[in-house]
Amino acid sequence: MVQILHRIRIPVLPIQTLQVFKFHQKKNYLEADKCYEEALSLNPQHLQTLFNKVSLEYQKRNTESCVLYLNQILEIQPDNQKAKLLLDQVL
């Protein structure tokens, strides 16, 4: 099943997506972080997951990690305006 998901580039199962959203919304950052990391291990170039990770790190006031993930987004999509804007705000 994981191989099929990876091949079609879906980072997590829908139930996991709902679960991570609930963790993030309820500020259970440790569990949300685990879910995002698992999703990124399946598809490290999934932009929405990377942006969600930036949001989580920003809420945790971890600007170094924000910069790291925003730079990863810009490596994938160098012209991504949202990532550029957020990077300027974080720095």
Position 16 scores a pLDDT of 63
Tokens encoding 10: 């879906």
Contacts of 22 (CB under 8 A, 6+ apart): 28
* 12 phi-psi bin (left φ>0, alpha ψ -120 to 50, beta other): beta
Asked if residue 52 lies in contact with residue 24, where contact means CB atoms within 8 angstroms, the answer is: yes
pLDDT digits (tens, 9 = 90+) for 51-81: 999 999 999 999 999 999 999 999 999 999 9
Position 8 scores a pLDDT of 43
More confident of the two residues 74 and 14: 74
Tokens encoding 85: 């804007």
How far is 24 from 4, CA to CA, in rounded Å?
27
Specify the DSSP class assigned to residue 69: H
pLDDT digits (tens, 9 = 90+) for 23-41: 888 889 999 999 899 889 8
